């Protein structure tokens, strides 16, 4: 559970980071990390068109450098772009100057004000520095689609189990996650649509960020039980 949804005490260390958007709006924010990837990005874009929703792609600079046409296609389809570094460096284990230099290198290929730390590994100091230039985004729910030990059905259950109003949800635009993502992502979205959720990009000016209290709120037992009863997945 600590993997799928970060606990409150972790969120408190990062007051300038987005974990969740407005808890009073029945809106979800689907995001894809690690692309653009020729084997998966076109499929994701086609699925988003079929589902009629928009998403946010946190792209790696080295991938954007190799596949600028895919980066442009994401924009052409009406989705938002975020930066995910150049070499997918974990800030928690890197000298801050080296880490920031990697991000600036990525920014040469990805023009955006949104940034997601690779692996979610970033120090509070690094987050505070980056918040002066970027909107730093982590997540409310990570689906673990990258985890080869999980079956696709388990990834879908994780996505449905923890998602709530305002959730920022992570899938991955990568070969590693391809099998699980391609199964879980469209099925989860169809379920959310049936429950009346709408979808938006993270740069949508009409949506609000959750209050500090709601940002730090760990999904409680009563909330989770209500979602389970509604979705009948357990």
Q: Which are the catalytic amino acids?
A: 33, 172
Q: What is the rounded distance in angstroms from the CA atom of residue 234 to the CA atom of residue 223?
A: 14
User: 201 near 79, Cβ under 8 Å?
Assistant: yes
Which token pair is 10?
A: 């972790």
The DSSP call for residue 195 is T
Side-chain-side CA neighbours of 8 within 13 Å: the count stands at 8
User: 127 near 73, Cβ under 8 Å?
Assistant: no
Q: Strand pairing of 141-142 and 56-59?
A: unpaired
């Amino acid at each position: 559970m600590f993997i799928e949804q970060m606990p409150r005490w972790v969120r408190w260390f990062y007051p300038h980071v987005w974990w969740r958007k407005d808890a009073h709006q029945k809106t979800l924010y689907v995001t894809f990390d690690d692309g653009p990837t020729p084997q998966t990005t076109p499929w994701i874009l086609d699925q988003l068109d079929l589902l009629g929703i928009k998403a946010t792609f946190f792209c790696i600079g080295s991938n954007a450098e190799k596949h600028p046409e895919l980066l442009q296609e994401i924009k052409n389809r009406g989705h938002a772009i975020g930066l995910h570094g150049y070499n997918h460096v974990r800030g928690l284990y890197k000298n801050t100057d080296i880490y920031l230099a990697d991000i600036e290198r990525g920014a040469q290929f990805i023009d955006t004000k949104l940034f997601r730390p690779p692996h979610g590994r970033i120090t509070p100091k690094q987050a505070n520095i980056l918040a002066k230039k970027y909107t730093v985004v982590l997540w409310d729910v990570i689906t673990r689609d990258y985890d080869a030990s999980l079956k696709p059905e388990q990834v879908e259950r994780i996505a449905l189990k923890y998602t709530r109003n305002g959730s920022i949800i992570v899938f991955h635009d990568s070969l590693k996650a391809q099998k699980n993502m391609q199964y879980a992502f469209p099925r989860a979205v169809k379920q959310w649509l049936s429950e009346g959720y709408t979808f938006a990009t993270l740069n949508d000016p009409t949506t609000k960020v959750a209050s500090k209290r709601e940002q730090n709120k760990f999904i409680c037992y009563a909330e989770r039980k209500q979602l389970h009863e509604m979705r009948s997945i357990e």
